[in-house]
Every structure is written in structure tokens, then in C-alpha cells.
Chain A
């Protein structure tokens, strides 16, 4: 009787039932599409971040730079006016403070940590410049860049020279190291072996190799030391890779000032993605003052059309889906209430026949839930169609990770901090650079990559959709049932007579 009555009633109210089911279907279809697009955006962000971050890396650990750490190694140069100075120096990235090797060991022992790897990101500057003649007392001539007591005499010159980004790769664990190199695809030669730890060997990025005319077997000079190129790698996010990779131990020795026993980035792989948040907290506790950055943190730094898509999916899409769903729920509820109102005499009669209130409520709820389920099924179809359309028509999305000094992004870490030039000191009399300034490369471009957006419909989304559909029907049914239950048979019969 229940199903016969339900079927007949839905057939009688076909137009209304279709209206309610379509409303729910639209809301659920939107929820599925938006969720699928959102998943796609997250996956795209993951791809972007993996490109920048390295395969398998769950988090990076860095230390903010300590105050007053800027400068060319903190050293002063003494030279004669008119002299030519040549510098070939590897300097640890100034945007990052240093961490001791022991921090790597400490982190590796934490719960939920599967692997760790230290890295030293640095810049090698190879430059020459000629000191101009200037009078004692120093200063710039009038009309020069700075007023002062002294004057330049004769021409000086400054050659910014070559700047290459160098990444010291931790080979202590052997196998595939964590970090940016893990993204690379070997184009020629080989990658590092554990036995390379103290050798002067290098793996170079393909685009740098091309520009510097390097190949396997070539030599590349870093801090006046020749490294033999043993491999060339191609990174999917070319802009984000280092130019040259060398063993960490060698980078620590060559960096100026010496970074022996120190790193400035620690790459951490969590045992599972569910552990990342816990691992982040554990590291922050174990290494006080450290900045622990996870892919979730970095997602907020992604800019470009991918960020716009993310914003669209997470803000406009989410709220649109919620608004349509709420409207559909309201519509279903109001139409169900209206239907119950129209059936007052019918329910009053059934109660007079001895039907309990709960049976009447069950009938109303059954009808509503059936409409919800039909709406849900249609909505799933609409959602699949919507996600297919998104996948098909979405243009390729570009993304870049914002310039964040001190960020754990390899890209961010590899760039020189802005604010370059020669701030502060200037040339004091008698010559000599003060231990300040640097920033040879002012604000390098943020690394960027392109991904194609897909909108996958997962089982979880379908379960969510079905739950929402049933919930929509249930809400309408509860309201309608509540209205029906409140009817006293005499009042229900009296209302129409």
C-alpha cells in the first residue's frame, strides 16, 4: 500500500514532483561540478607545487634570516683606486637563515616523518669591476649619485657578471634525494650517487646547460672550483629549478661564509598525507623558530590564472552551489507544505480510518525522499556532464608561486632578495665595501608553470550528492510530515466542510 500510494501520488503531482526533483538536481549538479572543479584546481595546484617543490616532499623547513646577515660574506675588501677586482663567490641565499645538520637528524626522528634531506641553496656570482680613482675623503662628485667631500677621478666600471643558482644536494641518504632535483628528468649523463658526496661533480639544468654551452663532461666553475658535469636534467617547471646541482658537502665548504655543517632548507617527506599537519607541528616544536611550509601553505601563494580558477571554484562556485541548493531545499519544502495543505481532507480521512500519525508522516516523507533521490540521480548526471564540460572547455591555467623571501619554496628560496643595489654605506674614504648591501639580482621573476584543469568526479562527491539529495527530501518531508502530524482528524475534516 505504501509504495502504491506513493507512486500514485507522485504521478498525480507529476508536474510538481518534476519541479522539485529538477530543483534539487540543479543544486546537486552544481555541487558536484563545483566540487569536481575544486578538486581539479587542487590537483593542478598540487602539480604546480610538486614541480616547484619536488616529488615526495610534504614540507620544507627554513629559518628566517638573522638581522644584519646581508652583505658579500660580511667581509671588507681593501683595494687601491684604479684596481680591477674579480669575485667568483658562492653565497648562501640571503633570504634564508641557516639550520644545522643536527636539525635534519632531529626532524628525521620525528613521528610521521618518512624521509628528510638538507639542502643549501646558494648563488654563485662571478663578476669583475674596476675601482675608479677618487680623492681621499671619499664621496661622490657633484652631479654624481651622491654628494660628498671627495671626487671620482677617471672612469670606473662594474660588470654584474654571471649569476647562477646552485643547489647543494644532500646525498647522505643515497637514492633519490628530496628537493627540486627530484623533479628533473635526466636528459643525458647520470644523476648523483652516494659516492659523489665529496666530489666536484655537478648536474646542470638543461636550459642553463644550453645557455652556458655545457654538456656531460664539461667543466663548470663555482667559487673558483671546477666541477665536472656528470648529468643534465630537464625540469618540468624550468623557471623553478636550480641552474647547477652539486653535492651538499661541497656547497657547504665553498659557500662564503663557510656553511660547514649547515643547510638552509630541509625537505621533509611525511609518512602519509594525513600526517602532514601533525608533522608540521612536531617540527615547529622540535626546531624552535623554524618556518615549516606545507603544500597547503603554498597553495595560498600560487598566483596566475590557476589562482583565479581556484578563487572562482572556491568562492563564487561554492556560494553559487550553496545558494542554488538552499533555494532547491526551500522550494521542495514549500511545495511539500503546500501539497500537505491541499491534502488536509485526505490525511484527516486516513486518520479517521485509524491511520496513526507516524504512518501519515511516513507517507509524506517517503514521497519527499523519493523526489530527493530522483533529483539526486538526475543531479549526479548533471554533475558528470558539468565536470566533463569543465574539463573540456577549461583553458590551460598558468600558475606561479609568489615571491616570498624566506619562503620554503625552492623557487622563492633560489631568488635573490629584492632591495638590491648598494644601500647604506656607499664608498667610504679609502675605499672598501662595507659589509652591507648585495642583492645583485633585483626581484627575479616568480617561477611559473602551466597545467590543464580537469574536474574529476570522485566517489566521495557522489556520496555527498546522494546525501544532500536525501537530506533535501528529508527536510521537505519532515516539514510536510510535521504539518500533517499536527492535523487533528476532526479539524482536518471540518476545514473542508
Chain B
């Protein structure tokens, strides 16, 4: 699914530069669950943004299903994001003025799906995450865990191939964290998703198949201590 070759990302910071990614090589198979760990500021989120086509590398190849995201036009990358990649953010990033239902529907807008089908799919997706009865609620009327469930429903409603999660439990308490990770794991199992998860939490990382450690922009891969797939 993904093949990253010598991916480097250099940011300008003041007069100096920051090498957020330094020649990262990575292969991710379809249906794999990969955790990326590492200290803050060592390139985890940058790597996730490269995988999601949210940013472009300074050099290197980000091959996604045979297409180099680094070389595609912006409109093409936007299309790939709209159809194939789902995102979950640490701060949920729900549109505050839209209801849970409408937030989920927002992910279907770029696909040009009609209002009725959008509504039906969004409702199903909310039910899948256990929020069928909260569809009309605004984000501000939901708890953190519920908001993240809405974000997961939004990410999955378009049935993407890949789910990229940037510290999805970072803002949640322990109980809710386990609940959300359990939900992600079950969805990953049921749907055969490729799930790439950035986390500081080793207990979360242990549930994945592989763990990548980012340090100073370099990636080192190791097998997780407990394979969740087994």
C-alpha cells in the first residue's frame, strides 16, 4: 500500500532549518496496523502528514498504491484524501456549528454524493460507533470520547483504505482511551483497514502489529511486543 523511499522534510525555522524527516524508508502493507512512537518534535506528525498527502516531502518518494503523492497535483492529492484516506485528530477537529450527523456528512461532500444517501450513510456510520442517538447534537454537547467517536465515524463513512490517527486518545481519560482504541481495533479487524496511529502511549502501541520509533527524523521499525492481530 505505502512505500516511502528516502523521504526527507526540511522546514525553515528562523534563520536555521529543521530536518523533521531524515531519509525515511518505510513499507506498509494493506490491512496492517502500525503505531508510530517517539518523543515530541521528532517527526511523528510530519510522517503522518506525508502519508496523508497533507504535506509534501522536500525529497524522496511517497508511493501510495502506485502513485507518488509527492509528485501529484494538489487537486489529485485532494481527491486521494477524499476517497481513500481517513483522518482522526487528537483534538477531534469537528466543525463546531455542525451537528454530529452533519460533521460526518461533511466527509461525503467532496465525493458528490446526494443529500439522501449522505444522510443515510452518515447515520449508519454514527450507529457503528455507538452514537446513533446523538446525531443531532452539536460537538459542544458531546463528551470528549463521543466527539472522538464522531471523528472516527467521519473518517470511516467514506470507507477509506487507510485510517491515519494522530494521537487519537491524547485528550481522553484512561477509560475512554481504552474504549476508543477498542473501537478502532474492532473496526480495523472488521473492515480490513490499514491503520496507522501516532501515539505516545506505549499501552496503545503494544496492541498494534508493528511499531515505528521516530527519533531526530529517522524511523526505526520493530515488531510490537503483543500482536493485536493474533
Q: Identify the stretch in B89-97, B186-194, B212-220, B221-229 within 8 Å (CB) of chain A at 4 or more residues.
A: B89-97
Contact B110 A497 (CB under 8 A): no
Q: Mark A1-35, 1 if CB is under 8 A from B, else 0.
A: 10011001101100000000000000000000000
Contact A346 B102 (CB under 8 A): no
On chain A, the residues within 8 Å of B91 by CB distance are: 345, 496-497
Given A12-B97, A346-B95, A349-B95: A354 in contact with B154 (beta carbons within 8 A): no
Q: Mark B32-63, 1 if CB is under 8 A from A, else 0.
A: 00000000000001000100101100000000
| Of the residues B45, B78, B118, contact of A494 by C-beta under 8 Å | B45
Q: Is B81 an interface residue (CB 8 A)?
A: yes
Q: Given the complex of chains A and B, what is the CA–CA distance between A348 and B55 in angstroms?
A: 12
Q: Identify the stretch in A36-44, A58-66, A409-417, A485-493 within 8 Å (CB) of chain B at 4 or more residues.
A: A485-493
Chain B nearest CB from A11 CB (Å) reads 7
Contact B90 A353 (CB under 8 A): no
Q: Given the complex of chains A and B, what is the CA–CA distance between A464 and B96 in angstroms?
A: 37
Contact A1 B55 (CB under 8 A): no
Given A359-B109, A359-B110, A493-B54: A353 in contact with B97 (beta carbons within 8 A): no
Contact B49 A490 (CB under 8 A): yes
On chain B, the residues within 8 Å of A345 by CB distance are: 91, 93
Q: Given the complex of chains A and B, what is the CA–CA distance between A349 and B98 in angstroms?
A: 13
Given A359-B109, A490-B54: A5 in contact with B93 (beta carbons within 8 A): no
Interface residues of B in 98-157 (CB under 8 A from A): 98, 102, 105-107, 109-111, 115, 118, 154
Q: Is A436 an interface residue (CB 8 A)?
A: no
| Of the residues A11, A352, A359, contact of B54 by C-beta under 8 Å | A352
Q: Mark B81-92, 1 if CB is under 8 A from A, else 0.
A: 111000101110
Secondary structure call for the B interface: helix
On chain A, the residues within 8 Å of B49 by CB distance are: 490, 493
Q: Is A193 an interface residue (CB 8 A)?
A: no
Interface size class for chain A?
20 to 34
Q: Is A351 an interface residue (CB 8 A)?
A: yes
Interface residues of A in 456-497 (CB under 8 A from B): 488-491, 493-494, 496-497
Q: Given the complex of chains A and B, what is the CA–CA distance between A494 and B48 in angstroms?
A: 12
Q: Is A356 an interface residue (CB 8 A)?
A: yes
Q: Is A299 an interface residue (CB 8 A)?
A: no
Chain B nearest CB from A196 CB (Å) reads 82
Q: Is A319 an interface residue (CB 8 A)?
A: no
Given A4-B102, A8-B97, A352-B81: A488 in contact with B55 (beta carbons within 8 A): yes
On chain B, the residues within 8 Å of A497 by CB distance are: 45, 89-91
Q: Mark A359-376, 1 if CB is under 8 A from B, else 0.
A: 100000000000000000
Closest to B154 in A: A353
Closest to B151 in A: A349
Q: Is A350 an interface residue (CB 8 A)?
A: yes
Contact A350 B78 (CB under 8 A): no
On chain A, the residues within 8 Å of B203 by CB distance are: none
Interface residues of A in 326-382 (CB under 8 A from B): 345-346, 348-357, 359
Contact A356 B110 (CB under 8 A): yes
Q: Is B230 an interface residue (CB 8 A)?
A: no
Closest to B54 in A: A490
Q: Is B12 an interface residue (CB 8 A)?
A: no
Q: Given the complex of chains A and B, what is the CA–CA distance between A19 and B154 in angstroms?
A: 34
A to B CB contacts below 8 Å, 14 in the list: A4-B102, A5-B98, A349-B87, A349-B89, A349-B93, A349-B95, A352-B54, A353-B81, A353-B110, A355-B106, A359-B109, A490-B49, A490-B54, A497-B89
* Extra A-B contacts (11), CB below 8 Å, given A1-B115, A5-B97, A12-B97: A1-B105, A4-B98, A4-B102, A349-B95, A351-B78, A352-B54, A354-B81, A356-B110, A493-B54, A497-B45, A497-B89
